[in-house]
Amino acid sequence: MKITLALSQIAYTVDIVNRVMNPVNDESYRSGSQSIAIAEAVPGTVEAPYGQNLVSYDQEGVLFAMAKLVEQRDRHTAGHCERLAFSSVALGVAMGLDSASLLTLYIGGYLHDIGKISIPDAILFKPGKLTEAEWEVMRSHTVRGEAICKPLKSFAHVLPLIRSHHERMDGTGYPDRLSGDEFPLLARVIQTVDIYDALTNTRPYKDPCSRMRALEIMEEETANGWRDREITAQFVHLNYRVIAKASQGIGTSSDRSMQDSLSNLRRFLAQ
């Protein structure tokens, strides 16, 4: 029987991921690729430490719990993933995207920053400006997140969102400096709502912007060639009508309700 681990029960899984992504002092993880090590650590049944019995768990449940754990490391990001899941699906509906794309956006909203689980607190929560070396570590959360999710075949369609949501239309983003149509469409959707949420909420290094100022900044960045013009315009229009009001009550779900919502969405889109 498979079970979904609660947040208090996934410390071992998190420890595995941290050792995989930072394997300097662990001889057993020095050989082989990161994705192979994670494939052995995350899916299916694993051996618990200190001679405990084997534990079987639902793979998707663990990843959703890990995504929630990323949020709970920082009170400033509470509800961030849920707001992104809601807003990206709403934007996708307004854009006329198909059911498969909407489901991908929903999952991507929750998992896009899962790689931050392996970013040190001293960098993730630093109140001041990051050094170039610290920025290099911070930017690595995209490829780390992709590596964490890559062993699960059911999440293959979400990997481009996790890896590419910090690219820019003019090719100055990261990690691959993609430009134009090379920048995956759904990653552009996630990026749009991610930027808005980051601007309108407190972060360790900044105070929140007003809704109007956030939309102005997004339009300025679009004019500079960083963002997708059509998606930004659609988001601004949708924000006035739907997102700003509906997202106010979002942000209190547990990892269990995340999966329930995902199951409900899957059923709805399958109709």
The ranges assigned to domains in the chain are 7-60, 77-253
pLDDT tens track for 124-134: 888 888 999 99
Closest alpha carbon to 149 in 140, 160, 139: 160
Q: What is the pLDDT of residue 26?
A: 37
- Residue 114 CA to residue 69 CA, distance in Å, equals 9
**Across 10-19, 125-134, 158-167, least confident range:** 10-19
pLDDT confidence of 78, banded at 50, 70, 90?
A: low
- Residue 262 CA to residue 241 CA, distance in Å, equals 24
Model confidence at 44: pLDDT above 80: no
Tokens 């134009």, located at residue: 180
* Whether 153 is catalytic: no
Check whether domain 77-253 has CATH 1.10.3210.10, yes or no: yes
Catalytic pick from 116, 129, 206, 245?
A: 116
Model confidence at 96: pLDDT above 70: yes
- In contact, 103 and 89? CB cutoff 8 Å: no
Q: What is the pLDDT of residue 228?
A: 97
- Residue 148 CA to residue 135 CA, distance in Å, equals 20
More confident: 124 or 267: 124
Model confidence at 237: pLDDT above 70: yes
Return the DSSP state at 224. T
Q: What is the pLDDT of residue 82?
A: 82
In the chain, % of residues over pLDDT 70: 64
Q: Is the dihedral of CA 210, 235, 146, 134 positive or negative?
A: negative
The pair phi, psi for residue 179, each rounded to 5°, is: -140, 155
